[in-house]
Chain A
Amino acid sequence: MATEFAFPDATAKNATGEFETEKMSLSMGPSHPSTHGVLRVQMELDGEVVIKADPIIGYLHRGDEKIAENMTYNQFVPYTDRLDYLAPLANNMAYAIAVEKLAKLEVPERCQAIRVITAEMARISAHLLGLGAFGIDTGAWTVFMYSFTEREKLYKLFEELTGARFTTSYTRIGGVARDVPDGWTDRVNAFCDQFLPILEEILSLLTRNKIFMDRTVGIGVISKEDAIAYGLTGPNLRGSGVAADLRKDRPYSGYEKYEFDVPVGTTGDSYDRYLVRGEEMRQSVRIIKQAIKSFPGGDWYAKDARKIFAPPKDKILTSMEELIQNFMIVTEGPQMPAGEVYFEAENPKGTLGFYIVSKGGGVPYRLKIRAPSFCNLSILSKVCTGVMISDVVSILGSLDFVMGECDR
Chain B
Amino acid sequence: MSATTTADITAQIQQQFPQATPRASLDHPALDVPAGDVLAVLKTLRDTHGYDMLVDVTAIDWAEGANPRFTAVYHLYSTTSHNYVRIATACTGDDSAPVAPSATSLWPAADWHERETYDMFGIRFEGHPDLRRILMWEGYPYHPLRKEFPLAGIETELPDPEVAAATKVQVKPAPMAGGPFVASSGEINLTEAEPRAKDESWNEANEKPGA
CB-based nearest B residue for A68:
B185
> Nearest Cβ in chain B — how far from A55, in angstroms?
9
> Of B75, B135, B188, which is in contact with the most chain A CB atoms at under 10 Å from its CB?
B135
Residues of A within 8 Å of B54, CB to CB, are 231
Residues of B within 8 Å of A242, CB to CB, are 79
CB-based nearest B residue for A250:
B82
CB-based nearest B residue for A224:
B79
Q: A251 vs B203: C-alpha distance in the bound complex, in angstroms? A: 47
Please state if A67 and B151 are interface contacts (CB–CB under 8 Å).
Answer: yes
Q: Which of A70, A72, A340, A351 contacts B26 (CB 8 A)?
A: A340
Contact string against B for A residues 57-78, beta-carbon threshold 8 Å, 1 for contact and 0 otherwise: 1100101011101111001000
> Of A72, A104, A242, A378, which is in contact with the most chain B CB atoms at under 10 Å from its CB?
A378
Please state if A407 and B55 are interface contacts (CB–CB under 8 Å).
Answer: no
A residues whose Cβ falls under 8 Å from a Cβ of B: 57-58, 61, 63, 65-67, 69-72, 75, 101-102, 104, 228-231, 233, 242, 244, 249-250, 331-333, 337, 339-344, 351, 353, 355, 357, 359, 361-366, 368, 370, 374-375, 377-379, 382, 407-408
Please state if B107 and A407 are interface contacts (CB–CB under 8 Å).
Answer: no
Say yes or no for B9: interface residue by CB 8 A criterion: no
> Of A66, A244, A341, A355, which is in contact with the most chain B CB atoms at under 10 Å from its CB?
A66
Please state if B185 and A363 are interface contacts (CB–CB under 8 Å).
Answer: yes
Please state if B188 and A363 are interface contacts (CB–CB under 8 Å).
Answer: yes
> Nearest Cβ in chain A — how far from B162, in angstroms?
17
Say yes or no for B163: interface residue by CB 8 A criterion: no
Please state if A58 and B134 are interface contacts (CB–CB under 8 Å).
Answer: yes
Please state if B79 and A244 are interface contacts (CB–CB under 8 Å).
Answer: yes
Please state if A368 and B56 are interface contacts (CB–CB under 8 Å).
Answer: yes
Residues of A within 8 Å of B112, CB to CB, are 374-375, 377-378
> Nearest Cβ in chain A — how far from B141, in angstroms?
16
Please state if A363 and B60 are interface contacts (CB–CB under 8 Å).
Answer: no
Please state if A61 and B135 are interface contacts (CB–CB under 8 Å).
Answer: yes
Query: What is the total of A-B residue contacts with beta carbons within 8 Å?
Result: 131
Please state if B145 and A71 are interface contacts (CB–CB under 8 Å).
Answer: no
> Nearest Cβ in chain A — how far from B27, in angstroms?
5
Q: A365 vs B145: C-alpha distance in the bound complex, in angstroms? A: 11
* Selected interface stretch from B12-20, B35-43, B176-184: B176-184
Contact string against A for B residues 172-197, beta-carbon threshold 8 Å, 1 for contact and 0 otherwise: 00000000011111111010011000
Residues of A within 8 Å of B53, CB to CB, are 228, 231
Additional A-B contacts beyond A63-B144, A101-B26 (19; CB < 8 A): A58-B137, A61-B136, A65-B120, A70-B151, A75-B181, A102-B26, A228-B52, A230-B107, A231-B54, A231-B107, A332-B193, A340-B26, A342-B27, A355-B75, A364-B185, A366-B60, A378-B109, A378-B112, A407-B135
Residues of B within 8 Å of A231, CB to CB, are 53-55, 107, 109
Please state if A344 and B55 are interface contacts (CB–CB under 8 Å).
Answer: yes
> Nearest Cβ in chain A — how far from B114, in angstroms?
11
Residues of A within 8 Å of B151, CB to CB, are 66-67, 70
B side interface size, CB within 8 A: 51
Please state if A339 and B58 are interface contacts (CB–CB under 8 Å).
Answer: no
> Nearest Cβ in chain A — how far from B86, in angstroms?
7
8-66 of chain B: CB within 8 A of chain A = 23-28, 30, 52-56, 58, 60-61
CB-based nearest A residue for B110:
A231
Q: Which of A61, A229, A364 contacts B109 (CB 8 A)?
A: A229
Please state if B86 and A375 are interface contacts (CB–CB under 8 Å).
Answer: no
| Selected A-B contacts with CB under 8 Å, 29 pairs | A57-B134, A58-B137, A66-B151, A70-B151, A70-B182, A70-B185, A71-B181, A71-B183, A229-B109, A230-B109, A231-B109, A249-B82, A331-B188, A333-B188, A339-B26, A340-B30, A341-B26, A342-B27, A359-B186, A362-B183, A363-B183, A363-B185, A366-B60, A366-B61, A368-B56, A370-B55, A370-B75, A375-B55, A408-B135
